[in-house]
Amino acid sequence: MNRQGRKGHYRYFFQTFFASLAVNFKIPFGKVHWKTSKRCGKYENGETCRQESDAYVCREAYSPLSENSRRVWKNKIIDKRQTAHFITTQMEIAMRKFLLFLLFALPLPLSAQTAKIKIDVDRSIGQIDPKIYGVFMEPIHFNGRRMGLPDTVDFNTMYGNLYDPSSPLADENGFRKDYIAAGKELQITNMRWPGGNYVMAYNWQDGIGPKSQRPVRINLAWGGVDNNHVGTDEWIALNKSIGSENIVCVNLGLATVNDACGWVEYCNYPKGTYYSDLRAKYGHEKPYNVQLWDLGNEVDGAPWELGHKEADDYVKIAREAAKAMRSVDHNIKFVASGSSYFESTGQWVEWNRKVLTGLGDMIDYLSIHRYWDNSPNYYEFMGGSAMDFEEKITTTAAEIEAVRTMKDFRNPIYISVDEWGTFGRNFLSVLPIAECLNSFIRHADVVKMGNFTMFTGLLASDREKGTYKAPLFETFKLFSTNCRGNSIDTYVECDTFSTAKYKGIPFLDVTSVYSKEIKTVYINVVNRHKDKAIAAEITNSAGAFAGKAEASLMNAASLEEPFAFDKQDQYKPVTKEIKTDGNRISYSFPPHSFTQIKVKID
C-alpha cells in the first residue's frame, strides 16, 4: 500500500470510528481533518487551524474527557512507518478515553463477581459471651387508642400472655409452659426485668408478699393498671424454670437510692435484717444472689422517660446508688444507663462520654439500646439500618477505650445491648435479627451482653390457635445453640451497594465462630441482595476442612407475607450437605436469606 493509500485507509477507519460514536452515543468528539498542505482551511464555525507540517491530524475536541476546549495534535511526517505509528497512536488514545468514559460516565450494570470469604481460626476476635443470648421483658400495656386501633383492643405483654394462671398451659407459678419451653430450647442465658420504661415509676415493694394484699397501681409508663402479681419472687421463679440468669433494673427515675439498696438486701442478704427476713417470711429463706444490676433505664430519654435526668445529674445519683448497693453486697456488678435517645444532634455520644467519665471506675457494662430503623426502601432497611447498628457499637466501643485510657481505669468495661430488636410478622423482619447477632459476634471483644426485646416475641402467636415457632425463633436458635465459641477473623470480598448515608455496603454480611472443643466452625451469612443469589468461595487459611459441610438455610419466597400458624411446618431451616475441597467450599447464597454453614476443621 503506497503512502496515499495508507493515509486513505486510516482516514476512513478513524473517521468511521468517531462517526459511529457520534451517531450511536451522541458523543461530540469533533471533526478529524487530514491535509497534505500546510493549511487545513477553516472549520464550519469560521475558526482557522494553522499547521506548519507536511501532514497532520487536527481534532477540535468537544469531548468532556478533553483537558481543554481545543487540543491540536501534530507530528512531522518523515516516512510511511512514522505516519502509521502516529495515526495508530491517536486512535489508541481515543479508544482509551472512550473506554474510560464508558466505565465512569455511563451507568452500565456490572456482572456479579464470585465473592470471597476467608476465615482463620488462629485469628480470634474474642470469646463470645453466652450472655449475648439474653432477653428483655416488661409488662407493657397496649390499648386501642394508644395503638391507633379500635378501643376494643386491649393487650398486655405480661398479664394474660406470659403470665396467665387461668391458662391450661400455666405452671405452678402462673407462667405459660410454652414460653418456658421456648426459652429452654433457645438456651436463653439471662432475662432483664422488670423494665424498661415501666421500672422508672415502679416500687419493687408493691410486688412482694401475698398477691391478694399487693396494691393495684397505675402503669404510669404504658397506661392501664398493674395488680403487681408478678414481682421479685415471681420473676426469679420464671428464670429458674428457664435456667436463665436474673438482671434486675432498679428505679433511678422516680425512686431513691435507699429503695435500690433495699431491693439488693431483699434479694441477696443472707438473713437477720428487715428485708432478708421479709424474704424468708414470704417463703424464700435462701438469698437469690442476683449479680447483675442495671442502674436505671434509658435515663437520657427526655421525651418519654419518667424521671429523666441530664447526664451530670444521672452520674451523681447512679454513683451514690452503686456505692450504697455494694455496701449491701460487694460482689454485685453494674450496668450503667448508656444512650438510647439517638436524636439528630449526636448528643448521645456526649451522654456516653460523661457517664463513662463519671462512673467508669464503678461499672462493668455500659448499656446501649437500639431498635432496627424501619424504611419502605428495602436497601435502606437491610443496609442502612445495619450500618447504623454497627455504628452505635463501634462508636461506643471507641468511647470506652478512650475514657479508660484518659482516666486510667483498670477495670474492664463492656457493652451491654440490653434492648434490641425489630418488629414485624414477616420474613423481612427476620433478616435483621441475624444481622444484629452477627454484629454482636463481630464485636465479641467488647459486646458481652444482649437482651432481645422481648421474650414473648420469640414465639409467634395466633390469638385463636396459640403460639408457634416462626422463622425468627429458628434464626435465633441457630445462633444461640451453635455460636458459643471464639469469634474469628473473617475477610469478605463481594459486590456492594449504597444508601443515601452509607456507601460500599457489602451484600454479604458474614461472621465465623470456632468451637475448639468440637473443632467446628459455624459461618453465618446474610445475603442482603433482594433478588440475586451470590456465589462465594470460602477458604480456610489455617488448614483443611474435614469431611462434608452442612448448610442450614432460612429463606422465604415472599418477604412481606405474614406468618401463619397453619404454615409453621414450612418455617424450619432447610439443611443440605456441601462438598469440601481441601480448604475450600463453594456455595451460592440465595437472595434475601440467612445461611449457617457448619463444618469441621482438621
Which domain CATH number covers 406?
3.20.20.80
Tell which residue, 424, 415, 369, has the closest CA to residue 396: 415
Alpha carbons 105 and 95: distance in angstroms, whole number:
15
Judgement on whether residues 253 and 384 belong to the same structural domain of the protein: yes
Are 215 and 228 in contact, with CB atoms under 8 Å apart?
yes
Look at the chain and count its residues: 602
Element (DSSP H or E) covering residue 460: strand 460-462
Which pLDDT score, from 0 to 100, does residue 148 have?
57
Select from 430, 460, 485 the last residue of a domain.
Answer: 485
Are 143 and 154 in contact, with CB atoms under 8 Å apart?
yes
Are 473 and 423 in contact, with CB atoms under 8 Å apart?
no
Cell numbers that stand for 29 in this block? 468528539
508 belongs to a structural domain: no
Give the pTM: 0.81
Which pLDDT score, from 0 to 100, does residue 160 have?
93
Judgement on whether residues 80 and 205 belong to the same structural domain of the protein: no
Which pLDDT score, from 0 to 100, does residue 45 have?
40
Are 329 and 264 in contact, with CB atoms under 8 Å apart?
yes
Judgement on whether residues 304 and 208 belong to the same structural domain of the protein: yes
Alpha carbons 252 and 226: distance in angstroms, whole number:
20
- With a CB cutoff of 8 Å and minimum separation 6, the contacts of 551 are 575, 576, 577, 578, 587, 595, 596, 597, 598
Helix/strand/coil for 458: helix
Are 138 and 194 in contact, with CB atoms under 8 Å apart?
yes
Are 589 and 541 in contact, with CB atoms under 8 Å apart?
no
Alpha carbons 47 and 43: distance in angstroms, whole number:
6
Which pLDDT score, from 0 to 100, does residue 477 have?
98
Alpha carbons 22 and 29: distance in angstroms, whole number:
7
- H helices present in 47-170, as ranges: 80-105, 144-147
φ, ψ dihedrals at 330, nearest 5°: -75, -5
- pLDDT for 404-423, tens place per residue? 999 999 999 999 999 999 98
- Between helix 232-242 and helix 177-185 the angle, nearest 10°, is 50
Which pLDDT score, from 0 to 100, does residue 15 have?
44
Element (DSSP H or E) covering residue 41: strand 39-42
Which residues of the chain fall short of a pLDDT of 50?
Answer: 1-89, 91, 99-111
- pLDDT for 362-413, tens place per residue? 999 999 999 999 999 999 999 999 999 999 999 999 999 999 999 999 999 9
Which pLDDT score, from 0 to 100, does residue 28 have?
41
289 belongs to a structural domain: yes
Judgement on whether residues 170 and 289 belong to the same structural domain of the protein: yes
503 belongs to a structural domain: no
Range of the domain at 286: 126-485
Are 498 and 505 in contact, with CB atoms under 8 Å apart?
yes
226 belongs to a structural domain: yes
Find how far residue 426's CA is from the centre of its chain: 18
Are 238 and 177 in contact, with CB atoms under 8 Å apart?
no
Select from 467, 485, 503 the last residue of a domain.
Answer: 485
Residue type, 101: F
Helix/strand/coil for 455: helix
Neighbours of 191 (CB within 10 A): 23
Burial of 260 (0-12, 13-18, 19+ CB in 10 A): buried
- With a CB cutoff of 8 Å and minimum separation 6, the contacts of 26 are none
- What does the DSSP assignment read for 510-579? EEEEEETTTTEEEEEEEE--SS--EEEEEEETTS-EEEEEEEEEE--S-SSPPP-GGGGGGGSPEEEEE-
Judgement on whether residues 299 and 258 belong to the same structural domain of the protein: yes
Judgement on whether residues 139 and 11 belong to the same structural domain of the protein: no
Judgement on whether residues 330 and 283 belong to the same structural domain of the protein: yes
Which pLDDT score, from 0 to 100, does residue 286 have?
97
251 belongs to a structural domain: yes
Which pLDDT score, from 0 to 100, does residue 86 have?
41
501 belongs to a structural domain: no
- With a CB cutoff of 8 Å and minimum separation 6, the contacts of 439 are 386, 389, 390, 393, 447
Cell numbers that stand for 493 in this block? 470480598
β-bridge partners, 176: 170
- 128, 174, 528, 561 from 438: Cα distances, Å: 11, 35, 13, 25
Judgement on whether residues 145 and 37 belong to the same structural domain of the protein: no
Which pLDDT score, from 0 to 100, does residue 408 have?
96
Alpha carbons 302 and 77: distance in angstroms, whole number:
81
Which pLDDT score, from 0 to 100, does residue 141 have?
85
Judgement on whether residues 382 and 414 belong to the same structural domain of the protein: yes
Judgement on whether residues 131 and 94 belong to the same structural domain of the protein: no
Select from 436, 462, 485 the last residue of a domain.
Answer: 485
- With a CB cutoff of 8 Å and minimum separation 6, the contacts of 534 are 112, 115, 494, 495, 507, 508, 527, 588, 589
- Between helix 385-407 and helix 347-359 the angle, nearest 10°, is 30
Judgement on whether residues 154 and 13 belong to the same structural domain of the protein: no
Alpha carbons 335 and 93: distance in angstroms, whole number:
65
- 93, 410, 423, 435 from 373: Cα distances, Å: 49, 36, 10, 13
Are 541 and 600 in contact, with CB atoms under 8 Å apart?
no
What is the tally of structural domains in the chain? 2
Dmax (CA) for the chain in angstroms is 117
Alpha carbons 162 and 158: distance in angstroms, whole number:
5
Find how far residue 520's CA is from the centre of its chain: 25
β-bridge partners, 248: 193, 293
Handedness of CA 52, 55, 61, 66 (dihedral sign): negative
Cell numbers that stand for 329 in this block? 453486697
573 belongs to a structural domain: no
- Between helix 471-482 and helix 431-442 the angle, nearest 10°, is 20
- Report the relative pairing of strands 115-127 and 486-493 from DSSP bridges: antiparallel
58 belongs to a structural domain: yes
Neighbours of 269 (CB within 10 A): 18
Judgement on whether residues 30 and 88 belong to the same structural domain of the protein: yes
Are 362 and 322 in contact, with CB atoms under 8 Å apart?
yes
